[in-house]
Amino acid sequence: MQNNQLQHFFSKMRYLNIVSVSVFILFSANAASAQRISDTIRIKTIEIFADKIVKEEAGKTTTKIDSISMIKALTSNLSELVAQNTPIFIKEYGRGAMATASFRGTAPSHTQVSWNGISLNSPMLGMVDFSTIPVYFTDNVSLLHGSGSLSEKSGALGGVVKLANTTDWQNKFSGRLLTGVGSYGTRDEFFQINGGNNKMQSQTRAFYNYSDNDYQFVNKFIADIDPKTGKYLYPTQRNENSQYENYGFLQEFYLHPTEKSIFILRYWYQHNDRSLPRLLSNETDNNANINRQSENAHRPVAEWKYYGKKGTLSLSSGANIQLLNYQLKTKVSGAADQLVINSDSRSASYLFKASYNYQFSDNLSIITGANTEINSVLSKNSPLNGEPQGYDRQRSDHSVYIQFSKSFNDKLSANLLAREDFIGGKSTPFIPSAGIEYHPFRDKGYFLKGNLARNYHQPTLNDLYYIPGGNPQLKPEEGIMADLGSGYAGPVGNTVTFHVSLNGYYSRINNWIIWLPTPQGYWEPYNMKRVNASGFELNTGISGKLYAVDYHLNGNYAFTRSINRDDPRNWADESIGKQLPYIPRHSANFLFNLSRSGYHFTWLWTYYSERFTTTSNDKTSKLDVLYPYFMNNLHLGKEIKLNRQKLDIELKILNLFNEDYRTVLQHPMPRRNYSLLIRYDF
């Protein structure tokens, strides 16, 4: 994107923001004299402990990322937030490059991501690039683990990451400005302005993010030999051709026409443009094998809710449209660029949802709903000296479900869910789920819970039709999933709150889809007979006040076994009984936050055990395994109150101990680096 185009874009953004704010100031005559400070940032964490079980959630394993973690990740993308605060493993192909998720030892396509009810998963690839989702564009992030995901949709064999936006109906006029600079020529700009009254609210957000991304690293895949000592000499190189630029805006309108109804309109536009660094083993000239990817995403959503005396009706409709261009080229002096790959893809998902929640009594409720999702993909590759190839396919997916939830007393609650899907005009087998939760003691903070479900995941359109390699004969993946957990949440004394939970899970997934190389030189998807994914997740945290210091600690640990139980493909197949590639057995993260008199300190620690790069789990060379690493990040800051405004200055030190690490083979990550952020709330 040229500079004049960027200036034109932000000029339009400023104009839209001014118009939006002006309309609401005029609509609310007292807005100018009743400015209020945004109260969603520097408040203490509040935890509420109910005396009764929420029957609709009985048996489900859920995780909500707390407000402190959300604040610390405001200028980050979703991959960083999730990796530092949840049991999900994020596989990054480099700073600013693609980042995918492995939830409970499953594949990236088994993690569903929804934004205010709209699926962000690509119907082409089936997964979400977490690096392209700015945390700044969402207010709440929560997880539904394993079988608990069926209340949202089928197919999430790992789980669901839910992103949600909210508004403050008491707000008159408020906003936020953020600016940041960092290592490797990184610049961050964020803007938000809110206005309205108790009948109408407008929220406008915009961001711009750029980085040269030219960090140095030691390349251990290329070496010379010292003629005197015989030792290997590894060169220090720079991460070239890997700059990225992202910008976008989000406009939301919240309307409250009557006491019983709410109407919401949202539109999210985003542009991502990035160069993809070459593999470390590539010794060609810098003008050869240049990868570049550009994407435009459009996501409109409309939602209407009606609150009756005993029931709530919800209707929503939206779309996720992604326009993607990928080029692999070589620059030749005096001639046109030699395009080896010139791929244009258009994927679109149109979603229509309806649900009704009826409360027969405080102890009994029923939720019923229907969803329709229309998916289409047009993928075309037009290389310079080759024949165009690709595919153009559509598929309609429909789903109906019903859930009964019952509280038998103050201690015991259960729910039953039944779902039926119709994929491409064909019905899938019946999908049931059952959950139970029990609080055995008078203190309702301690609980036992369990959940059992069946689940199906359909092949993506790329799995079926990609050229070359698509396999129309693929079977859907079928999973049996079980969860069992226990924990405690409640106060300890007068000023301390504490929570801990331990959840074990087991999944048996038949017809697991995996892409493998073929003798013809391209990759093709196959169905593996079975994969068994099992393990446990531990989450604990404590917060309170010691003397004049507010403290908050939260930690996660996950043990994951994702084992190949396929039949051997030939006599030399050594993959049976082995851990799937790139899935760590052990992972953990920890957040420690202290604050006093406006000063705040945060330490973020992340750990991943070794990951194998081959299905046979070999360790014969450095190409076969990625070694364990520990990541330490520090945030140091000071908040200054300026009458009714707030100014916060924060320094981030990332990779504090200068760790040399990888999450994907031959894709280096940066060493110690810094960023400075200034946030102004008004």
pLDDT above 60 for 567 = yes
- Residues contacting residue 582 through CB under 8 Å, at least 6 positions apart: 91, 102, 611, 612, 613, 626, 664
**What pLDDT is stored for residue 26 in this prediction?**
30
Domain count, the chain: 2
Mean pLDDT computed over 85-96: 92
The reply to whether 466 and 579 lie within a common domain is yes
Beta bridge partners of 330: 338
State what percent of residues in the chain have pLDDT above 70: 92
Residue 333's pLDDT band, with cuts at 50, 70 and 90, is: confident
The reply to whether 114 and 212 lie within a common domain is no
Q: What is the CATH number of the domain that holds 223?
A: 2.40.170.20
Sign of CA dihedral 9, 11, 14, 19: negative
Mean pLDDT computed over 554-581: 88
Closest CA to 337 of 288, 282, 386: 288
**What pLDDT is stored for residue 506 in this prediction?**
96
H or E element at residue 70? helix 67-72
The reply to whether 508 and 519 lie within a common domain is yes
**What pLDDT is stored for residue 563 in this prediction?**
94
Tracing tokens 């009764």 back to the chain, one arrives at 52
> What token pair was written down for 579?
């851990």
Within a domain: residue 340? Answer: yes
- Residues contacting residue 21 through CB under 8 Å, at least 6 positions apart: 173, 193, 195, 202, 204
pLDDT above 50 for 16 = no
The reply to whether 225 and 201 lie within a common domain is no
Dihedral angle of Cα 593, 161, 481, 409, to the nearest 10 degrees: 70
The reply to whether 488 and 617 lie within a common domain is yes
The reply to whether 76 and 15 lie within a common domain is no
Within a domain: residue 399? Answer: yes
Residue 470's pLDDT band, with cuts at 50, 70 and 90, is: very high
The reply to whether 465 and 540 lie within a common domain is yes
Within a domain: residue 372? Answer: yes
pLDDT above 50 for 33 = no
- Supply the DSSP string of 443-466, one letter for each residue: STTEEEEEEEEEEEEPPPHHHHH-
**What pLDDT is stored for residue 15 in this prediction?**
37
Mean pLDDT computed over 411-438: 93
Within a domain: residue 49? Answer: no
Terminal-residue alpha carbon distance, the chain: 32
Average pLDDT, the chain: 88
pLDDT above 80 for 20 = no
- What CA–CA distance (Å, rounded) separates 484 from 436? 10
The reply to whether 571 and 438 lie within a common domain is yes
Within a domain: residue 86? Answer: yes
Mean pLDDT computed over 660-681: 92
Segments forming the whole domain that contains residue 288 = 35-43+59-166+217-232+261-681
Comparing 160-174, 275-289, 388-402, 491-505, the range with the smallest average pLDDT is 275-289
CB 558 within 8 A of CB 537: yes
The reply to whether 30 and 144 lie within a common domain is no
The reply to whether 671 and 578 lie within a common domain is yes
CB 113 within 8 A of CB 160: yes
Written as one letter, the residue type at 529 is K
Mean pLDDT computed over 66-88: 92
Comparing 437-441, 564-568, 650-654, the range with the smallest average pLDDT is 564-568
Query: What's the gap between Cα 12 and its chain centre?
Result: 29
The reply to whether 494 and 541 lie within a common domain is yes
What are the tens digits of pLDDT across the range 131-168? Answer: 999 999 999 999 999 988 998 999 999 999 999 999 99
User: Residue 337, Cβ neighbours under 10 Å: how many?
Assistant: 14
Within a domain: residue 239? Answer: no
**What pLDDT is stored for residue 608 in this prediction?**
95
CB 249 within 8 A of CB 271: no
Within a domain: residue 251? Answer: no
- What CA–CA distance (Å, rounded) separates 572 from 485? 40
The reply to whether 117 and 86 lie within a common domain is yes
Provide φ and ψ at 136, rounded to 5°: -60, -20
Within a domain: residue 247? Answer: no
> What token pair was written down for 563?
């084992």
